């Protein structure tokens, strides 16, 4: 089961299970898992917005050589994400067919959903953590010795209080808000979710009409967390989740902001629109019983000029963009924009 593979509960409001394996990988190894390059494998499906965050942050910080990446395919059954895109249907490092196997190696009676992202301890084959919010924060603060030269500070100490406040509202009202609408079990629950979502999007539109990035004048953790929802809005959430007051490209500031990030190395080059659509429209059978995947929308507009430079700020501050995407981690040709 994926982080977002919830099911419509008739008459009920969607509630996300937020109980995760909260073991952390830290410099002091307090939880038994010290920072150690080459020891851990990030399992992150491109289709999942929560996993997409970790792929973006890993790339922005240049942690590719320190933490390897395994990518399940976009669809899965009730049991688990599977490595169906890999030769012989097995992760080439862990040697497993299902992510479930790594969870059961940690706890043979693991009772919750098998979610991505997850970090696996390669020597033991056990999941260390699936706490998606903490994973990126730890990439930023615990893995600093292995950041690339010119890596941005995505969680600057002076801005953390504001970043945390923005992240809280964005998670509650936008990241999770689209699911609240999509999995609403009654008209009343849907109407309330729809209103909450667009109230928050209007707040973001106003905020981003005056500043290039969500917090400060460079990209931060807050931008990463909002971006992965925006990237999925027109291809999925507008239609599939009935979040259809307007499309993302009908906002002014939000649409410019989303394109600005998409065209920044580390963001758009991690997005696979085809896998995104396959995941939502095939896996969510309660919402889309036919499992038909729409051909549209045309996504070439993600590459059009955004004009956000006029607001000032620099994506990487005094740092530099990440280099080219490693060959074995590039999005399949034709699955991105354009």
Residues designated as active site:
48, 179
In SS3 terms, 3-24 reads as: CCCCCCCCCCCCCCCCCCCCCC
Helical packing angle, 160-170 and 187-208, nearest 10°: 150
Q: Establish whether 81 is an annotated binding residue.
A: yes
Count the neighbouring beta carbons within 10 Å of the beta carbon of residue 327.
6
Answer whether 51's CB lies under 8 Å from 133's CB: no
The DSSP 8-state label assigned to residue 237 in this structure reads: I
Token match 């097995």: residue?
90
**How is residue 104 written in tokens?**
């059961």
CA nearest 120: which of 104, 133, 136? 104
Q: Is the dihedral of CA 242, 297, 219, 330 positive or negative?
A: positive
From CA 105, how far away is CA 116, in angstroms rounded? Answer: 16
Binding positions for glutathione are 81
Binding positions are 81
């Amino acid at each position: 089961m994926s982080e977002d593979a919830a099911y419509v509960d008739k008459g009920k409001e969607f509630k996300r299970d937020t109980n995760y394996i909260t073991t952390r990988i830290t410099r002091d190894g307090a939880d038994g898992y010290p920072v150690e390059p080459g020891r851990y494998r990030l399992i992150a499906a491109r289709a999942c917005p929560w996993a997409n965050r970790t792929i973006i942050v890993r790339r922005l910080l240049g942690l590719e050589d320190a933490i390897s990446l395994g990518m399940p395919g976009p669809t899965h059954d009730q049991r688990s994400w599977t490595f169906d895109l890999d030769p012989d249907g097995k992760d080439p490092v862990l040697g497993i067919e299902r992510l479930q196997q790594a969870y059961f190696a940690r706890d043979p009676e693991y009772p919750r959903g098998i979610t991505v992202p997850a970090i696996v301890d390669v020597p033991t084959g056990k999941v260390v953590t699936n706490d998606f919010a903490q994973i990126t924060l730890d990439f930023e603060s615990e893995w600093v010795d292995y950041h690339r030269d010119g890596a941005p500070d995505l969680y600057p100490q002076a801005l953390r209080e504001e970043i945390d406040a923005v992240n809280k509202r964005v998670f509650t009202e936008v990241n999770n808000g689209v699911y609240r609408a999509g999995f609403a079990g009654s008209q009343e629950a849907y109407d309330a979710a729809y209103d909450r979502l667009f109230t928050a999007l209007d707040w973001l539109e106003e905020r981003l009409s005056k500043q290039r990035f969500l917090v400060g004048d460079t990209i931060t953790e807050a931008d990463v967390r909002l971006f992965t929802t925006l990237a999925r809005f027109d291809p999925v959430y507008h239609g599939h989740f009935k979040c259809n007051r307007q499309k993302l490209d009908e906002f002014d500031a939000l649409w410019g902001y989303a394109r600005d990030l998409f065209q920044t190395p580390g963001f758009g080059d991690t997005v696979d629109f085809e896998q995104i659509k396959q995941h939502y429209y095939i896996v969510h059978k309660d919402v889309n019983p036919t499992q038909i995947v729409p051909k549209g929308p045309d996504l070439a507009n993600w590459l059009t000029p955004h004009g956000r430079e006029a607001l000032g700020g620099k994506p990487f501050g005094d740092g530099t963009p990440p280099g080219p995407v490693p060959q074995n981690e590039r999005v399949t040709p034709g699955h991105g924009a354009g």
